[in-house]
Structure 1
Amino acid sequence: MSGRKAQAARNDELILQAARAVFTSDPGAPIAAVAEKAGVGISALYRRYPSKEALLQKLCGDGLKLYIEVTERALAEEGDAWEAFAGCLRGLVDADTSSLTIKLAGTFHPTEELDRDAARAGVLAEEIHRRTAEAGALRPDVTVTDISLLLEQIASIRLGDEKRTAQLRHRFLALAMDALRVPAGHRELPGPPPEDAELAARWSPAG
């Protein structure tokens, strides 16, 4: 990679890291705040991402691809279905893809590529859920959408620095997994599970 291309790649990584930090903190922040945090000129940012919407699309696209990667890796594992499922959940917590959903859903128009990746992610989530349930390791009244919202709740934990936040997220994930696993003396869950349509509706921009 030439010096100019290497610098462009470094700038792009700085921009994406800054954008994630800025927009998961304040989705309404201007794109100039991203340039400032990244330490690049606004013109350099606009050369790579012509609008805030394009930048948000890129962030969520990368998040979906990471979700797909983590879940495919878990599905490729042989052996104990629960351990593969638990490893998948831990990987998704580390990837922090749910933070993007919490903050950015409905703030931009999804592209066709995002729709395709979202559909693929959904298929994979259904598959690992089905495999774990069929192994008798997952309580039968828990749905895929229950798991989605559980990951969002864990992603909402922010306390101290990044290391402390990660510790706490995995602590509460461990508590949640004890409640998900069979056998256990579970009480019936109150209320119906969330519907796919309820989750999907959040990605339609308001107005």
Structure 2
Amino acid sequence: MPTSNRSARYDDQVIAAARDVFATQGFGAPMSEVARRAGVGVASIYRRYPSKQQLVEQVRTALFQLIISEAEAARADEPDPWRALIRFMSRCMREGTGIGTVLPTWDEPHTYSAEFRGLQARMAEVTEELVVAAQKSGDLREDVGFTDILLLFKHLNPRLPTCEPRRAELRARYLALVVEGLRAGGPPLPGPAPDHAEWRSLCDNLG
């Protein structure tokens, strides 16, 4: 197998393990637990990712890419804007995505890469497109912002001491309840949605 393929497989293996560990234990989980879950040595992880911050960024970058992919697929495959939005949210919360780890903050200052910032901006853009389309169709309430949708991923994916299949089942259950509150026609929501600057500060621990 070419070296580049082995390297890509190693990265996928470590990032998947880190995503699972961080999703259940938070970013304070030890690197030794990530190594154990990935079936590799701690030293080899540190050779590839010299700091935990760098590994955390790679986990979040991979999840940005997943969210973007799901948003683009929902728009392409589902002509009804409301159904596209709900499909997008449901797919992002499905078993094994670890989507909640996109939003938890890192406790120490960290300078994010240009790739991270570019994908973060694109994630916001494609989510906003889904939200605006669903509002124009008259199905989504007007006082919901795209930031509300992204923050819901965090609220609907807490770290629970149970297996991932059960967590996914609970996410789907509570998403179904939340969806009814997203429909147009309900009473006004208290307070405004976070604007883009506030959303980024919540994600980056800059508030």
Using the size of structure 2 for normalisation, the TM-score is 0.85
* Mapped partners of 1:157, 1:50: distance in 2: 26
Identity across the alignment (%): 33
Distance in 1 of aligned mates of 2:149 and 2:61: 21
Q: Which stretch of structure 1 is more off in the superposition, 126-135 or 26-35?
A: 26-35
Query: Is 1:109 matched with 2:104?
Result: no
Contact 2:72–2:126 (Cα < 8 Å) also in 1 = yes
- Contact kept? 2:17, 2:38, Cα under 8 Å: yes
- The Cα of 1:112 is off from its aligned counterpart by 0.7
Q: Is the 8 A contact 2:148 2:194 kept in 1?
A: yes
Q: Is the 8 A contact 2:27 2:56 kept in 1?
A: no
1:204/1:139 CA distance change after superposition, 3 Å: closer
Matched, 1:155 2:154: no
> Which of the two has higher C-alpha Rg?
1
2: CA distance, partners of 1:123 / 1:65: 13
Correspondence for 1:12: 11
Indicate the SS of the match to 1:176: helix
Instruction: Report the Cα distance in structure 1 between the residues aligned to 2:204 and 2:42, rounded to whole angstroms.
Output: 28
TM-score between both structures, scaled by the size of structure 1: 0.85
Answer yes or no: is the 8 Å Cα contact 1:145–1:196 preserved in 2. Answer: yes
1:1-207 equivalence runs, <5 A: 1-2=1-2, 8-24=7-23, 25-94=25-94, 95-102=97-104, 104=106, 108-156=110-158, 158=160, 160-182=162-184, 184=185, 186-204=186-204
Relative to 1, partners in 2 of residues 1:187 and 1:106: Cα closer, same or farther, differing over 3 Å? farther
Consecutive unaligned residues in structure 1, runs of 5 or more:
none
SS in 2 for 1:102: coil
- The 2-side partners of 1:181 and 1:20 are apart by 32
The amino acid across from 1:18 in the alignment is A
CA distance in 2, matches of 1:78, 1:171: 22
- Contact 2:92/2:99 (CA < 8 Å) preserved in 1? yes
- Structure 1: which amino acid aligns with 2:145? T
Q: Distance in 2 between matches of 1:192 and 1:205?
A: 20
Q: Secondary structure at the match of 2:54?
A: helix
CA RMSD of aligned residues (A): 2.4
Q: Please report how far the alpha carbon of residue 130 of structure 1 lies from its aligned counterpart in structure 2 after TM superposition.
A: 0.7
Deviations 1:40-93 (Å, cap 9, x if unpaired)? 122322332232222112111101111110011112134221111110110111
**2 CA distance for matches of 1:57 and 1:12?**
13
Contact kept, 8 Å, 2:105 with 2:204, in 1: the verdict is: no
How far the C-alpha of 1:97 sits from its partner, in A, is 2.0
